[in-house]
Amino acid sequence: MKITVIGTGYVGLVTGACLAELGNNVLCVDVDTHKIAVLNNGGVPIHELGLKELIVRNVNAGRLRFSDDIVAGANFGDIQFIAVGTPPDEDGSADLQYVLSAARNIGAHLSEFKVVVNKSTVPVGTADKVGAVIQEELDKRGETDIRFSVVSNPEFLKEGVAIEDFMRPDRIVIGTNMDEAGQKAQEIMNALYAPFVRNHNRILFMDLRSAEFTKYAANAMLATRISFMNELANLADDVGADIELVRQGIGSDPRIGYSFLYAGTGYGGSCFPKDVQALIHIAQENGSRLHVLEAVEKANEYQKNILTKKIEARLGHDLTGMTFAVWGLAFKPDTDDMRAAPSRVVVRELLARGAAVRAYDPVAIDEAKRVFAMDLEDEPALLARLEYSTDALDAVAGADGLVIMTEWKAFRSPDLKQLKTLLKTPYIFDGRNLYDPALCKSVGIEYFGVGRGHIKS
């Protein structure tokens, strides 16, 4: 099939590369000429395991191309995937300007039947707006016989394992209209995804609004589990329980399961924060309130400062003259994504209290430098006390404490005796509960996890 993917961000690149891998002819287009130049020169603007190799293989095979020619993109694909950003507005609603701009361009050049697929995460009712914009452009041109169908096909990709998620999906949600054009779109989408479901049909066809709602509902549920466990972890600290043991105790119940039950410093990234906010806003627009999700969001914002509160409880509010090593900056491992990363809150708070910070992350250093320069552009004195290490142990040497923000595999089994020797004072503030408190205690390290019951040496 001939496929156009509009947008070369995280979702667009993974979608385009994976569909090309299945033998489709894919053109990815973007208005960002710099990003297209990087891709055409063999680079990849994001870090995702296996993505660069997948892109190079399919570019070399002639199945995948990149262009900043938006008109060419509109004319190329029989299926037009819209995979552009939907950043949150100030009120928390999703900004649809890029989605609707893509739709307008498709409508301006539509000459035959095409399936227009919303791959971006969009509010309920967006498919109707996309269809209206396309039809408006057709009407301007006096084209009364050209047909199209708008489809909702939300992505369910986890950063770090996105290619695996795309190639071996647990479900493929497709929302269509039930008219003649919608039935034709169903047939086309069914054929497109047939290679992914040969062993077991995972395609779920539904109406457009239910498909759009499904994406938000899924992310809201996962965010709720995270905030729920973080709330319990904070209580576990107060009552002297160990949340890791509690997690095992409740996760073994098949009605609950283990996924997304790890206590920590709150969720971040490009999806959960903005999608929870957007769903809350959708409810408000419809005269309703999502009380649980409002609490989820509030709990998550509180949790981002939980390590700062632990540091203050042990070392005081004024941290002037102290240096903290921070391991991990990306919001999760196997990505360089710094969007809404809890590390941004913790690092800023440490700097604001007078401390210096030496930060290390296996892949996110360049992105972190860009993000913190932006976050602290009006506070140069704070930015001056933030430095970056190219080695995890170098960051620790002489520090007054180690703060762990991301659960990279490389951080999971350190030589605790060596850490004890390198640290100026033996404090570990573990935002991901990577270590056994008893082992830390045995080597003389004072350990502070999240929900580990105030265990000290």
Q: Mind telling me the catalytic residues?
A: 271
Nearest to 219 by CA among 272, 281, 260, 171: 272
- Residues with Cβ within 8 Å of 112's Cβ and at least 6 positions away in sequence, in order, are 146
Task: Provide the 10 A C-beta neighbour count for residue 398.
Answer: 12
State whether residue 274 is helix, strand or coil.
Answer: helix
Nearest to 30 by CA among 108, 82, 88, 77: 82
Task: Give the tokens for residue 354.
Answer: 């007078």
Measured CA to CA, the distance from residue 263 to residue 233 in angstroms comes to: 6
Give the CA angle between residues 67, 174, 180 to the nearest 5°: 95
CB 275 within 8 A of CB 121: yes
Measured CA to CA, the distance from residue 14 to residue 163 in angstroms comes to: 7
- Residues with Cβ within 8 Å of 142's Cβ and at least 6 positions away in sequence, in order, are none
**110-137 per-residue burial string, b: 16 or more CB within 10 A, e: under 16:** beeebbbbbbbbbbbebbebbbebbbeb
State whether residue 268 is helix, strand or coil.
Answer: coil
Using the structure block, give the residue that is written with the tokens 């350990």: 447
Nearest to 405 by CA among 321, 322, 320, 348: 348
Measured CA to CA, the distance from residue 242 to residue 235 in angstroms comes to: 10
CB 376 within 8 A of CB 386: yes
Task: Give the tokens for residue 40.
Answer: 């055409």
DSSP 286: T
Nearest to 272 by CA among 383, 358, 159: 159
Task: Provide the 10 A C-beta neighbour count for residue 106.
Answer: 27
CB 289 within 8 A of CB 282: no
- Residues with Cβ within 8 Å of 371's Cβ and at least 6 positions away in sequence, in order, are 338, 341, 344
Task: Give the tokens for residue 359.
Answer: 């930060």
